[in-house]
Amino acid sequence: MNIIISNASTKPIYEQIYGQIKNCIISGELTEGDALPSIRGLAKDLRISVITTARAYDELEKDGFINSVAGKGSYVAEKNLQLVREEQLKQIEQHINEIISLAGPCGLDEEDITGMLRLMWDENHREEKP
Amino acid sequence: MNAIEINGLVRQYSGFTLGSLDLALPSGSIMGLVGENGAGKSTTIKLIMNAVSRDAGTVSVLGVSNQDAAFTALKEDIGVVLDEAYFPEVMSAKNVGSVMKNTYRKWNGKVYQDYLERFSLPPDKAFRDYSRGMKMKLAIAAALSHDPKLLILDEATSGLDPMVRDDILNIFNDFTRQADHSVLLSSHIVSDLEKICDYIAFIHGGRLLFCEEKDRLLEEYALVRLPKERLADLPEDSIIGQKCSEYGAQALVLRSRVPEDLPLEHTNLEDIILFLARGDQKA
Amino acid sequence: MKGLLLKDFYTLFKQMKIMLLILVIFACMPGYSVASFAIFYAALLPVTALAYDERCKWNELAVMMPYSSRDIVLSKYVLGFIFVLAASAIAAAAQFITAALGSAAPDTGALLSLLLSACLSLILLDVNLPIMYRLGVEKGRIAFIILIFAGVMSAVSLGDRLIAVLAGFHSLALPTAGMLLFTVLFSAASAALSVNIYRHKTN
């Protein structure tokens, strides 16, 4: 598992860790039952504060991605398909919001955007065909 | 348990008062004690170790009050590195090892030997022929070789070159891989503290201005550069400190209190400290 | 305390090799005057050790280590005792050897004077150390020099008179024991005083 922390990013460090581990879990790189590095070990290896890794793990547990067993460590939780789908829907909504807010300054309206969407959807699916 | 707990600590000197100080170092963390020279960092450390007496307040280290009879024995678990006081000048690293072996019950000669090698310290050279960097390294080697639970370091990295400083900071980082190991590191090299600390305590003029989680500090504050006239546009309670020059102004602000679209820059610990220490500065 | 003693041994032996050699040579001198000087010098070595401590600010480090104030102060007294014992032993051995070489019995008077010097020198140390702890080595040194002269002078002059007095005793066991006892008690009192001064001084 690669965890890359960027100091230049606007996202707080714990959010970056949270996001990267979450992505690993969703993508399947980490599967159910896999052990995560210890909070303290991860912090020391990344040269960041233990408080921050603990925070990331807390959030991951709160959102159902991992389970922590006192004295043993943290493990990837059962993949909750519902959760994953919700996540992905949330992301799509976010992206759509961005498109809408960008469209304004460009002078594009709903029709323009839908047209672009159709065009690119076809392009994408055409590439996928063997 | 807190590795160090300070409540209502006060010590008065003529012309300078330290306190009243309330500070706690949670077990397993690294706390940086930052402040300008003369702010009271060394005094605080001496008060923690009961090397100087206090006028008021309580101090407990690893759960034991530092005026308890048991405190002398507790020093077995505390490794201290001071800025100035070192070993007798004619002693060699080997001699120091022998003295320490007869001082600390848990002294580990092999660990000491390994550190001497890692730091390239010659075993038979007299201490007076050591460079400043070598002196610090020897002191650190000795402090780490008796299996301490708490490390207290007063300006341990000052005067060292960047590579040595990095190596030493790595050692402290590794030291705290165990959850019952803690470090109190006093320094005026803020960038070093930013690298490894969990908490930052800022002492200024004998008073503790804040003690915060380092990452939260870096999340909460930001730098904004703007024309002087625009400073007034910012909400009053968002500006922590400002600096004005001929050509513009810089302000340290709380992210949560400024308008969302304001272009903000990342701040580092040194900026935060400087702004807080200097207060407002007009051109 | 062993660590503290070791530290002083290392420091003294490394800094003062020549002086210590002279000390040993003096101790072997016949009679008791020169040998007494060696014993007095030996007794005051802890003060030199104290001076070295001050120079490198050892006490600031020592207070961070698992030593009590008592350990730190007492180690200087123990050091004094060890050195005096060593110097006296060398001097006494020299007396025995020279006597044996000359096929004569060792001079009891000289031996007793050595013992007297040993006790007096320790008493001198007992007076000196509290002064050093109170005033620091710089200022204490002046008192130190005055006391050395007084000490050596009195030992030499007392030596003659004491031998005369002791000649009146049937057995020398009692005054000897008395002298030893007094030295021990006086040292204990001095140590207690020094510890007290040290405790208050470090703050």
Q: Check CB contact under 8 Å for C65 and B75.
A: yes
| A45 touching B (Cβ < 8 Å) | no
Alpha-carbon distance values, B36 to B187, B192, B200, B205 (Å): 9, 15, 14, 9
Cα–Cα distance for residue pair C63/B52, rounded to 1 Å: 10
Residue C164, classified by CB atoms within 10 Å of its CB into exposed (0-12), middle (13-18) or buried (19+), is: exposed
Size of interface B-C (CB pairs under 8 A): 79
Spans in chain B with pLDDT lower than 70 = 85, 279-283
Rounded to a whole number of angstroms, the distance from the CA of C37 to the nearest CA of chain B is 27
Q: Of all helices (H) and strands (E), which one includes residue C136?
A: helix C108-167
Q: pLDDT band at A130, cuts 50/70/90?
A: low
Does B102 contact C67 at a Cβ distance shorter than 8 Å?
no
Distance, in angstroms, between C35 CA and closest chain B CA? Answer: 29
Residue B236 DSSP label: G
pLDDT reading at C120 higher than 70:
yes
pLDDT at position B85: 65
What are the chain B neighbours of A49 within 8 Å (beta carbons)? Answer: 197-198, 213-215
Give the pLDDT confidence score for residue A46 in this predicted structure.
92
Model pTM score: 0.83
In this predicted structure, what is the pLDDT of residue B178? 93
Taking phi over 0 as left and psi of -120 to 50 as alpha, with beta for the rest, B159 belongs to left
**pLDDT confidence of residue C163:** 66
> What does the domain layout of chain A look like in residue ranges?
13-76, 81-128
Q: Which of residues 77-96 of A touch B (CB under 8 A)?
A: none
Check if C19 contacts B (Cβ < 8 Å): no
Test the A interface: residue of B169, B177, B178 with most A CBs within 10 Å? B177
Q: Give pLDDT, residue C115.
A: 85
B267 touches chain A (CB under 8 A): no
Put simply, the answer to whether C3 touches B82 (Cβ < 8 Å) is no
How is chain C split into domains, by residue range? 2-201
Q: pLDDT tens for residues B41-79?
A: 989 999 999 988 899 999 999 999 989 999 999 999 999
* Average pLDDT of chain A to the nearest whole number: 87
Mutation to test the A interface, candidates B216, B223, B269, most A Cβ within 10 Å: B216
CA B62 to chain A, closest CA, distance in angstroms equals 20
Strand order across the beta sheet in which B150-154 lies: B78-81, B150-154, B182-187, B30-34, B199-204, B207-213
Q: Is A47 on the interface with B (CB under 8 A)?
A: yes
Q: Of the candidates B273, B282, B262, which has an alpha carbon nearest to the alpha carbon of residue B36?
A: B273
Which chain A residues have a beta carbon less than 8 Å from that of B179? 40
- pLDDT tens for each residue of A85-126: 787 888 899 999 999 898 888 888 888 899 999 999 988 887
Q: Do C56 and B88 touch (CB under 8 A)?
A: yes
Q: What is the ipTM of this complex?
A: 0.84
**Structure confidence at residue B282 (pLDDT):** 41
Q: How many CA atoms lie within 13 A of B258 on its CB side?
A: 23
Predicted pLDDT at B109: 95
C11 touching chain B per CB within 8 A: yes
State which residue of chain B sits closest to C67, comparing Cα positions: B72
The topology under which CATH files domain A13-76 is Arc Repressor Mutant, subunit A (1.10.10)
Residue C169 token pair: 């005793």
CB-nearest partner of C6 from B75, B82, B102: B102
Domain ranges of chain B: 2-205, 218-281
Q: Which of residues 21-40 of A touch B (CB under 8 A)?
A: 40
Contact C68 B88 (CB under 8 A): no
C-contacting chains (≥3 CB pairs under 8 Å) = B
More confident residue, C17 or C149: C17
pLDDT digits (tens, 9 = 90+) for C16-54: 888 888 888 887 777 667 888 888 888 889 999 999 998
Which residues pair with residue B17 across a beta bridge? B12
Residue of B nearest to C50 (CA): B88
Check pLDDT > 70 for residue C203: no
Is B2-205 assigned to CATH 3.30.420.40?
A: no
- Closest by CA to B104, choosing from C136, A74, C62, is C62
Reply yes or no on whether the pLDDT at A14 is more than 80.
Answer: yes
Q: Compute the average pLDDT of residues A65-82.
A: 83
